[in-house]
Amino acid sequence: MEYQAPPFFKTGPTPLARLLILAALSLVLLVSDGRFHYLAPVRQVAAVILYPLQRIALAPVGIARRIGNFFVTHSSLRTENVRLARENFANEGMLQELKALRAENARLRALLGARQRFGVSATAAEVVYAARDPFSRRIIIDKGMRDEVEAGQPVVDEEGLLGQVTRVYPWLAEVTLVTDKSHFVPVQNLRNGLRAVLSGTGSDGVLELRFVPVNADHQNGDELVTSGIDGVYPPGLPVARVSQVERSATRLFARITCTPVAGVSNHTQVLLLSAQRDLAPRPAEQANPRRKGKARKR
């Protein structure tokens, strides 16, 4: 009978066994997060534990920024002040016009019996950092559940649409930018009202109009605004400008690249819009086995 001496040291399972157990566990996590989105509560807990660390990591940047603000020169402040006053003046004029137009619009809509457009309220938020994941385009902002941020809220800067809130943590929220590959915005060409779907490409500053027929009337320089038919984005937000149109007979669709209007890679402050949406109830979802989990909620 074979006899094996008892081990001197208790070491537990072998490294390979431990590796296999943990790798299997990671795979389970990956699948349940990627496919079924089960793990939101776990993520919340981890985010709360991580929050102080994130704050500490960001403290030097905040201090540097504050020191930089302290040493702003008098002349640069004056120039900025003059510029802001001028902008404010121009905006005032536009605002008055807007008020008149809004009243007129409401009256006309009432005459036509169309649904009223709802007002949009905005909260300012600060960008904490850009997510370091090279595969996606996301930013983290400093408003979260505590400030009643909800997933699906559109985020804009002073130029146009930036993206939408996709994950909300207690003190922070994650915004997926329009340039993210899995981000789609229904848009409308401002020149002729043509509708299309704009998607990110995963690289900064390049968007793409998807599934546009070769003969569709899109030209270089056309402005694209949100069409509002998805119920996520309020209609009329500027999103992108067409920068290149490639039509080739060998392809089914035209290849139309656009550049985002908003500064998707350089911003410190953003606006969170919360639109009171009054949408028709969603039609019952048809059983479609090919529906990928990529579609955004709401």
**Nearest to other proteins of 35, 251 (CB atom):** 35
Least Å from the CB of residue 27 to other proteins: 7
CA 288, CA 297: separation in Å to the nearest integer? Answer: 16
Place of tokens 């890679």: 265
Residue nearer to other proteins on the CB measure, 123 or 136 = 136
Tokens linked to 237:
């937000």
Minimum distance of other proteins from residue 25's CB (angstroms): 7
45 vs 280 by CB, closer to other proteins: 45
Nearer Cβ to other proteins (35/195): 35
- For residues 62 and 236, which CB has a smaller minimum distance to other proteins in the complex? 62
- Least distance (Å) between residue 62 CB and other proteins: 10
Instruction: Output 241 or 267, the one with its CB closest to other proteins.
Output: 267
- As measured in angstroms, the least distance from the Cβ of 84 to other proteins is 27
Q: Which is nearer to other proteins, 282 or 294 (CB)?
A: 294
Closest separation in Å from C-beta 54 to other proteins: 5
Shortest reach from residue 184's CB to other proteins, in Å? 14
DSSP 208: E
Which residue is it, tokens 């993520």? 43
How many other CB atoms sit within 10 Å of the CB of residue 239? 25
Helix, strand, coil percent content, the chain, rounded in steps of 5? 30, 25, 45
What is the residue whose two structure tokens read 């009329």? 236
CA 250: distance to chain centroid? 34
CB of 11 to other proteins, least distance (A): 8
Helix (H/G/I), strand (E/B), else coil: 62: helix
Kind of pairing between the strands at 207-213 and 184-189: unpaired
From residue 25, alpha-carbon distances to 21, 22, 87, 107 in Å are: 6, 5, 56, 60
Can you give the length of the chain in residues? 298
- Evaluate whether 152 touches 165 at the Cβ level (below 8 Å): yes
Q: Cβ neighbours of residue 276 under 8 Å, at least 6 residues apart?
A: 118, 119
Contact predicate 152/232, CB 8 Å: yes
Residues that bind other proteins (CB under 8 A): 11, 15-16, 18-19, 22-23, 25-30, 32-34, 39, 42-43, 46-47, 49-50, 53-54, 56-58, 60-61, 128-136, 138, 140, 167, 174, 181-182, 202, 292, 294
